[in-house]
């Protein structure tokens, strides 16, 4: 085959993507997609378990996160001051709190990013890259390049995803991954709107000093979040010389059940330690609390890091709440009154009539109200059209990191706004050049502009330092 023929074939292969309909929602439910001039990807957990038969165990805060992602992008599309005449799309993936699935979705994002290297001049066949957006005969698998990504939540999944995205030049902003390890230069393309754990450890040490506690125990999950969280607190202890960490126990992220009984037994024997710091996730915490309840281990002070402090007592369960006094440290809590009002007024009629948004919301109607927005769902009656989320369900869905997620999305929008409004010779590329916006914005250009965003969001002024961390670190002390 001649090179000219090859180029023509490559061109046709690339062009088949742009002729698909404007809006498309994929089934089964591992993705919702809407086309746009620029697309923001998201990795959000709607379920808590991945299996061969698909994702299981609905995660209600995940439904909230997806709805917030769709809501935020649609609000930006209506905003004449940000990205005027530009429509944002979204590609939201459910990774089911599973690292393998998170990597699969990230790989799908990365394999299509090279389409951004195709030259503007399709007519003359000026192809500047041999790698091109793959398209399938089936519309079910179509993937468009993303400008940047929001997520994932949590440090464990973020570390793997950030490593891959670093290689393929896709920037990601997490609303909740706080491990200090993610500030390393190896994860240069990873940013976050939430402060890293070294600041949380400092706030935790301030709390310990305020109450003049001399001995504390630490129970940490044995991955980046717990390991680096404990090390940061240990550093504060050694530097201040005001309190001692008398006992440290690590719990593996999975298959940890056999560790719970001996840990509680050790805590029972350490009678001089009345303060226990939990640097673990909610699933481990509830199982640990169940074991402590079984051994009648009570009357202690439990200090929870942000992974627990941001959960409601209803979500954490009665076992955990009955063991003593609970204090928590979390990134400062903010509220978006407009979004909260919007969420509380969603009805089955609204969710059923939408063609381009959160199909997962019907799982909430089914699980919590035993009905479906669609009258053709087997095994479920149709919900009343005016049914609204009860206060009990709203509390189950609540997530204090939603404002940080909204600000992460707006950070990408502001970066894109600077790109689309760019005038040479005032661009950030060499020689004052402006990034190309056709056929898609390059994710590497978005990263460059993300490092230069500055705006006032819900959580304060949004700017990133050289490590991709926010310039401000604010925390709340909470009591359960």
pLDDT tens digits, one per residue of 455-477: 999 999 999 999 999 999 999 99
The pLDDT value given to residue 17: 38
Query: Is pLDDT above 80 for 319?
Result: no
What pLDDT band is residue 142 in, cutting at 50, 70 and 90?
Answer: low
CA-based end-to-end distance of the chain: 71
Query: Is pLDDT above 80 for 27?
Result: no
Q: Which two tokens stand for residue 208?
A: 């310990």
Tell me the pairing of strands 275-279 and 54-58: unpaired
Short-list 336, 370, 119, 329, CA closest to 233: 329
The pLDDT value given to residue 111: 82
Cα dist. 25→92, 109, 286, 356 in Å? 10, 17, 36, 6
Cα dist. 231→180, 222, 236, 303 in Å? 10, 12, 9, 16
Q: CA–CA separation, 106 vs 104, rounded Å?
A: 5
pLDDT tens digits, one per residue of 252-278: 998 999 999 999 999 999 999 999 999
The pLDDT value given to residue 112: 65
Q: Any residues with CB less than 8 A from the CB of 240 and at least 6 apart, and which?
A: 205, 209
Range of lowest pLDDT (133-137, 359-363, 401-405, 414-418): 133-137
Q: Any residues with CB less than 8 A from the CB of 306 and at least 6 apart, and which?
A: 176, 178, 200, 328, 329, 330, 331
For the residues 410-431, what does the mean pLDDT come to?
98
The pLDDT value given to residue 52: 84
What pLDDT band is residue 11 in, cutting at 50, 70 and 90?
Answer: very low
Query: Is pLDDT above 90 for 124?
Result: no
Query: Is pLDDT above 90 for 25?
Result: no
For the residues 325-346, what does the mean pLDDT come to?
95
pLDDT tens digits, one per residue of 171-229: 999 999 999 999 999 999 999 999 999 999 999 999 999 999 999 999 999 999 999 99
Q: Is the peptide bond before 28 cis (omega within 30 degrees of 0)?
A: yes
> What's the whole-model pTM score?
0.85
Mean pLDDT, the chain, rounded, equals: 87
The pLDDT value given to residue 381: 96
Give percent above pLDDT 90 in the chain. 75
Q: CA–CA separation, 361 vs 383, rounded Å?
A: 13
């Amino acid at each position: 085959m001649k090179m000219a023929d090859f180029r023509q074939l490559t061109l046709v292969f690339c062009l088949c993507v742009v002729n698909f309909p404007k809006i498309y929602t994929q089934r089964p439910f591992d993705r919702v997609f809407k086309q746009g001039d620029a697309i923001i990807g998201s990795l959000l957990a709607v379920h808590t378990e991945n299996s061969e038969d698909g994702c299981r165990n609905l995660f209600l805060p995940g439904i909230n996160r997806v709805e917030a992602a769709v809501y935020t992008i649609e609000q930006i599309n209506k905003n004449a001051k940000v990205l005027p005449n530009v429509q944002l799309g979204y590609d939201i993936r459910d990774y089911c709190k599973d690292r393998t699935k998170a990597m699969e979705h990230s790989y799908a994002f990365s394999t299509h990013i090279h389409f951004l290297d195709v030259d503007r001049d399709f007519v003359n066949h000026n192809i500047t890259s041999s790698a091109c957006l793959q398209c399938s005969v089936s519309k079910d698998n179509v993937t468009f390049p993303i400008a940047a990504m929001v997520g994932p939540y949590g440090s464990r999944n973020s570390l793997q995803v950030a490593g891959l995205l670093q290689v393929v030049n896709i920037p990601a902003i997490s609303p909740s991954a706080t491990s200090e390890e993610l500030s390393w230069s190896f994860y240069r393309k990873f940013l976050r709107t939430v402060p890293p754990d070294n600041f949380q450890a400092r706030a935790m040490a301030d709390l310990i000093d305020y109450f003049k506690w001399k001995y504390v125990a630490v129970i940490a999950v044995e991955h980046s979040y717990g390991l680096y969280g404990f090390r940061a607190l240990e550093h504060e202890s050694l530097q201040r010389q005001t309190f001692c960490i008398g006992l440290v126990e690590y719990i593996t992220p999975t298959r940890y059940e056999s560790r719970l009984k001996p840990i509680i037994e050790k805590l029972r024997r350490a009678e001089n330690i009345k303060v226990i710091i939990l640097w673990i996730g909610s699933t481990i915490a509830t199982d640990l609390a169940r074991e402590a309840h079984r051994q009648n281990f009570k009357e202690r002070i439990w200090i929870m890091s942000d992974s627990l402090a941001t959960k409601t007592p209803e979500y954490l369960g009665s076992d955990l709440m009955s063991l003593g006094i609970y204090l928590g440290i979390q990134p400062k809590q903010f509220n978006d009154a407009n979004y909260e009002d919007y969420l509380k007024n969603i009805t089955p009629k609204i969710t059923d009539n939408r063609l381009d948004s959160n199909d997962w919301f019907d799982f909430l109607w089914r699980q919590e109200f035993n009905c479906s927005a669609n009258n053709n769902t087997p095994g479920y009656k149709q919900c009343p059209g005016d049914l609204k989320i009860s206060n009990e369900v709203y509390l189950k869905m609540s997530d204090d990191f939603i404002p940080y997620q909204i600000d992460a999305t707006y950070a990408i929008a502001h970066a894109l706004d600077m790109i689309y409004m760019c005038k040479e010779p005032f661009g950030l590329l060499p020689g004052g050049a402006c990034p190309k916006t056709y056929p898609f914005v390059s994710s590497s250009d978005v990263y460059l502009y993300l490092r230069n965003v500055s705006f006032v969001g819900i959580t304060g002024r949004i700017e990133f330092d050289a490590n991709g961390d926010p310039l401000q670190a604010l925390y709340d002390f909470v009591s359960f």
